[in-house]
Amino acid sequence: MEEQNILEVCTPVLSRHATTDPHVPSICTNDQRYLHTSPEFPMKRLLAAHAQDSQTQPDLYQIAPVFRAGESGRYHNPEFSLLEWYRVNMDHNALMTDTQSLLKHIWQAFDLHWPGVQVRRYGVEVFERLKCWPENASVSMIKTYFKDANKSFPTSIGNDLDAALDLFMDEFVINEFPSGTFVLLKDYPSSQAALSRLGVDEDGRSIAERFEVYFGAIELGNGFHELSDSRLQQQRFEDDLQKREQMGEPAMPMDTYLLEALAEGLPDCAGIAIGLNRLHMVIGNHDSIDQVISFTDQRA
């Protein structure tokens, strides 16, 4: 980060707002504040604060403890560390190259053999198996694929196509990623845009301008060409809250400070968060996140 002249920042761990993402559970304190699941929102507010002066607009990074309720397992701990950074005037494709450079730098620092990177497209992976693009798939089609593979399909998914696609990718795509190699999976369906912009792929199909980083089947991080439209971001927050209600999950207070910052103007930028504990697992060839955290949830 120093070599790239990226400014280190520190933002609050506690917030009056939480993520609305129905699949990311926040931890609430007794005074109705929330431990952040990512430093993303305040970092974007810092970017927006300098957006009017392109001469002094810095790239930003932060190493922060983050918290997610109910996450415990081989790759999960309720408290873990994220490396998050934002590059101004980059899109997701440029950020993919930036991410590869960082990972190669780390591998060389530890005198490890650089395994290289494969770039794969979400839609192509789905098409090769289902013979249709993700936006044309159906839950029943995915359910049939599971049945033909002698795998159970949970009834709890119901008619949620994105949830069905997520499970399909986990079971039949990501599990087949080559071990010992980095994979950058890009061109997600537009319905899974989250906090990213929408664009078109090389085939002219609508996609979310985002990617995920894997080492073998281990997910290390998420990257986005960041959405800067405050009205569209608010609509996505509201859609999240509606989905939460349908799932029986509690409503979360959307970050109005972020929406105000986006309305003032966020510079064209791309950002990514990488889980440092999982990265540590990969570097040290460990089997469990417990082996790289001194005080896990059970011992904290």
DSSP 59-127: -EEEEEEEE-TT--SSS--SEEEEEEEEEET--HHHHHHHHHHHHHHHHHHTTPPP--EEEEEHHHHHH
Backbone angles phi and psi of 183, in degrees to 5: -125, 130
Q: Report the percent of the chain where pLDDT is more than 90.
A: 92
Work out the mean pLDDT of the chain and round it to a whole number: 95
Q: What is the mean predicted confidence (pLDDT) over 144-159?
A: 95
* E-state strands within the chain: 7-8, 14-15, 27-28, 34-35, 60-67, 79-88, 117-121, 182-189, 198-200, 206-215, 218-225, 269-275
Helix axes 230-247, 256-264, angle to 10 degrees: 160
Give the pLDDT confidence score for residue 54 in this predicted structure. Answer: 61
Confidence of residue 253 (pLDDT cuts 50, 70, 90): very high
Q: With H, G, I as helix, E, B as strand and everything else as coil, classify residue 260.
A: helix
Q: Check: CATH 3.30.420.40 for 7-292?
A: no
Poorest-confidence range of 67-71, 111-115, 195-199?
67-71
Q: Report DSSP state, residue 191.
A: G
Residue 55 predicted with pLDDT over 70? no
Q: How confident is the model at residue 50 (pLDDT cuts 50, 70, 90)?
A: confident
Domain ranges of the chain: 7-292
280 falls in which pLDDT band (50, 70, 90)? very high
> Residue 56 pLDDT > 80, yes or no?
no
pLDDT digits (tens, 9 = 90+) for 186-236: 999 999 999 999 999 998 999 999 999 999 999 999 999 999 999 999 999
Express each pLDDT in 8-46 by its tens digit: 999 999 999 999 999 899 999 999 999 999 999 999 999
- Please tell me the pTM assigned to this model: 0.94
pLDDT at residue 251 in the model: 94
> At residue 70, does pLDDT exceed 90?
no
